[in-house]
Amino acid sequence: MSRKPHLILLVAVLLFVVLRYPLLENHPGIQDEQWFAIPGYTMWTEGVPRIPYLPSRIRSSFFENADVCMMALPPGLAFAQAPFFAVFEPGYPTARLPVFLAAIGTIIVAYLLARLLGLKERVAGGVAILIALSRPLLFAGLTSRPDALCIFFGILCSYWLSKQVLGLADASPSMRSKNMAVFFAGLFCGLAGLCHPLAIVFAMQSGVTLLFIGGGPKRIVIALCLFALGALLGIAPWLPYVLTYSYEFNSQFMANVLDRAGPGLFARLLWPFPSLVHHAGLLLALLGPAQLALLATAMIAGTIAVIRSRSLSHRSRLLVTFYAWSGLYFTATAAGRHPSQLYWLYAFVWCMIFGAVGVNAAIEWMREKYANRTKQALMGIGIAACIAVMMPGAGLRTWLTYVTHWKDARYNGQAFIAEVLSDIPKDAECCVDVSYVFDVYLSGRRRDFVPTAKACGATKKSSTTFY
C-alpha cells in the first residue's frame, strides 16, 4: 500500500480530532451524561459503578437503587472510563475520552473494512473522511454514553467476521486462522454487549452470516460455537455484578431496556413498519435533510453497483449488501420505540461503505468512457459535493467559539461552575442543573439529598439536593 492512502486516513482522523476535541474539553454535561459519567469514577474509586447523587427508590424511574449500583445498562463504559479517571482530572472531559477514542477507532476500522471488501484506497479514504465529518459520529463520539464504544466493538466484530467470510485472515488462510477470526468476531460482539444491548444487532448479523459461510454443517456448528464462546468471554466481566446486584439488575435493566422497546423483538422483526417509521423521524432529526439524502443516495448507488460491479468479488458484494441493508432493518427493530438517535452510527458507517461501492463502480465506468483529466475533474466535483453535504450541522460555529474563547469561564463548563461555586457557601442547599451535577459532586460539597426531584425519586432527607 502506498503512503498516500495512509495520509488520507490520517487526514480523516486529524479532522475529527481537531474539530471535535474543543467541544469535548469545553462543553458542559450533555444529555444523559449526568447518568453515565460518574459510574466510571466510582468504578475507579470504589470498584462499583453507581450514581451517588441519585438515591431513587421508584422502580419506574429506570434508576431504582442507582446509588447502590448502576445497572440500567451494562458497565462496559464504566470499565473503560476507570483508567482515565486514574490518570486525568475527574470531570466530564475525562469521562468522554473512551468514547472519543472509540470514535477515532471507528474511522480507522471503517477504512480497513472498506479496503478488505475490495474498495480502492482513495475511495476507502473518502469513506473515512465522510464518517469523520458526519453528525452521527459528532454526537456519539462526544457524549459519555456507551453507544460509541459499543458500535466500535460492533464494527470490529464485522471486520473480523468479514475476514473469515472473504478468506483473508492471512495470505493463505488455514483453518486455524479462520477459526481465530470467528472467535475474535465473537469476542468483540461480547465486548459490545458489555457496553450496550445494541450488540444484539451485531449478534443477529453475525448469526445469519455464519449460517452461510459454507464448509458443511460441521463447519457451521464449529463457527457458531467459537463465536458464542468469544461472545461469552467478552460479556463475562458483567456477570459478577449481575449476581451481586440482582435486584438492581431486574429493576433497572428490565425497565430501561426491555420495557421501553415496545412489543417483543420477534414481533418487531416480523412487523417492522412501526419501528421503521419511528426511526425515520429520528434519522431526519439526527442527520438533517442533506445528510439523510446522502444516506439514501448511498444505498441506491450501492445497490445498483452490486448488480453491475465487475471489480468486487461475489462474496464482497453479498457481504456489503447484507450488512448495509440489515444494519438499517436490525437497528430499527432492535431499538423499537427507544428515542435515542446515537444507535444509528453503526448503520450509517455501513451505508457509507455501501455507497462507496457505487463510487467504485463509477470509477470503473469513467475509466472506460472519459479521458483521465475529465475523470479526475468529475471525481473532484463528487468529493467536494459530498463534503459540502456534511457541512450543515457539523458544529463548525461551535468549534470556532470554543477555539477563540479557550478556557474562558463564559464558554468552558468546568471553569463556569467553579466560578459559581466559589460564590456559594459550602453548606448551602443547592439545586443543580444536570449539566453540572457531576462537577458539583466532585467539588466535595455535601452529598446527601432531599426529595425535591420527582424524576429522581429521591427519598433520603438532608440538606443538599443535586438533580
Q: 408-426: string of b/e by CB count within 10 Å (b at 16+)?
A: eeebbbbebbeeebeeeee
Highest mean pLDDT among 107-121, 361-375, 376-390, 438-452: 107-121
Q: What confidence category does residue 1 fall into, taking pLDDT thresholds of 50, 70 and 90? A: very low
Instruction: Note the pLDDT tens digit of each residue in 163-194.
Output: 888 774 444 557 777 888 899 999 999 999 99
Instruction: Note the pLDDT tens digit of each residue in 388-428.
Output: 888 888 888 889 999 998 878 888 888 898 888 888 888 88
Closest CA to 123 of 358, 401, 374, 440: 358
Q: In angstroms, rounded to a whole number, what is the distance separating the alpha carbons of residues 158 and 148?
A: 15
340 touches 197 (CB < 8 A): no
pLDDT for residue 368: 67
pTM over the 0.95 mark: no
Question: In the chain, where are the structural domains located?
Answer: 3-404
| 78-92, 158-172, 421-435: least confident range | 158-172
Q: In angstroms, rounded to a whole number, what is the distance separating the alpha carbons of residues 316 and 306?
A: 9
Q: Indicate the average pLDDT of the chain.
A: 85
Does residue 454 register a pLDDT over 60? no
Taken in order 170, 172, 176, 182, the sign of the CA dihedral is positive
